[in-house]
Each structure stands twice: as C-alpha cells, then as structure tokens.
Chains A and B, each alone.
Chain A
C-alpha cells in the first residue's frame, strides 16, 4: 500500500506549507460526489486523526483515512503546467472511468 508524490509535486507542497506557516502535510482522500461517483479531496493537514494512515514520499507526509485508501492505493501525485494553468494531477491506477473533465471518477 502506498501513495507517492513526484519530486516536483513534493517540492511545491513543501513550499506551500512553508508559506502557509503551519500544517504537518497533505490529506488526500475521496468522497462520494460528482458526476461519476467519486471525487478527490486534497487539503492541507494540520494534524493526524485517529485512524489515519501515514505515508512519507520525497519528504512530504501524506495522511489518508482508511476508507479512502482502496480507491487511491498506488496513486502518484504530480504537479504540472498546462498552458497558463498549473496544479496537481492524480495518476490513479484504480480509475476505470472518469467524467469529461476528470474531476470525478469511477473505480
């Protein structure tokens, strides 16, 4: 079981955390919503909670709640530039189908 970040993504996350001034790392999860059933959750994490699983990749701590893990296990988080837009990209091996824009997905 693992969740990983590319070097580039880790660099950006660390940078954001420093500027934000607080937080232990990232919280990644899924929730049921959106046009294809599931949607990602990507938030700053201020503290680990009870059942959280912790992964460390390229120096960044990632917290995942156990219910979410099966949907995103093996996922790699990348940071990319697309035209003028930039942001995080989820390379999730579990996804079978996603809506046109990719904001929500099916497993």
Chain B
C-alpha cells in the first residue's frame, strides 16, 4: 500500500489509546475510519501524521519507513493533513491561504492553484475574501485546497463534514471523489459513517483503539453486524 500504518500502539501520557491499530490506503483510493465516539479515530490519524508518539508499530509511505519523522517532515515527504477545526487562516484571503499551503514549494505553483480553483470554483470567485468570512462549507473547501497545494500523494482529512449541512456534505464528498480520481490516496475519519462508507474503497471500524472490522466500504455497509452496532440499523 502507498500509506500503511501497522500495529500502532500508543497514546498521550501513560495510557494507550491505540492498541495495535492498523490503517492504510492505496493510491487512487478512499479509506475511511469510522467508529463510535472515543474509539481513537482522530488519534489514529494523528499517529499516522506523527503527532503522537508510538510505542509500537510502524508507518510507511511509498515503502519508506517514516515512523521517526516529525509531522513537518512527513508533509515534505508527500502527506497533507486537514485538521477538523481551525483549519484555515481566518485573517488571510483565500488566495493567501492557498499560498501558505504551498509554502514549502520553491517552484511555480500557479498551475496547482488553478487546478484547485477548477475543483472548487467558489474559491476562485472569493479568492480575495478573508477565509474567516466564508461559510462553513466554503471554509472546508479552503482547508482542503490549502492541503492540496503541496500536491500530496496522501491526503488526510479529519472529519471534513463536521458541522456542515447534508447538502454541503454531499458536495464535499463529490469533491473528495474527484480528488481520489486524480490518483491521490485519501484517508479520512468520519462521523457520518454511512455516507462516508458509501464512497469508501476501504473502511476501518475502530472500537476502543482496536480494529473491529476491516473491509471494502460496500461490504461494511452490507455487514449486518456493522449496521446494527455502528450504523444505527
């Protein structure tokens, strides 16, 4: 797999939140991590990004072991991360947000910016407006756009649809599918499990920091036990 995190064990302080948890995603795939509150979904994603010290386990990107790299170095290595909250520079314009996303790039990034404006046409319209003045859904688009500016191989999304309306959620999922179709590996944590699994090539159901079910998105949706326990029937 392009990104694979195997047997991650660790947590904050003394307690292990993740217990031998494994997630991964292949190029041109969407992998979704779902599970009840407190299952360690976001923690698993933070561990993949390097924001959590692992006691055991390894993270590899494109065959290279990146377990020891800092989050900044992992981003330079081709990962991008969209946090769940405070994921835009509110006091900066949409265009400046994208420019900051490309901070590490020394080449001309105008082509990438045009691609993002093509993917999210509303951002092109509002490029001189402050990101803090945009609606929730538009902000999420800025956040995803900022992350895409480094042309990552892997895009990590932490609950991209938290707090947006169902219509905006559908729209965002459509955009995420488009991103996948361009060959990016997308790994996301989602609260809206049913809709997320619907677009997922790969799904992980986590419970108390452990893998409970791992399968294709469709198979998980069809699994009666998963439906009963995690999807509300």
A and B from one complex: no
Interface residues of B (CB under 8 A from A): none
Interface residues of A (CB under 8 A from B): none
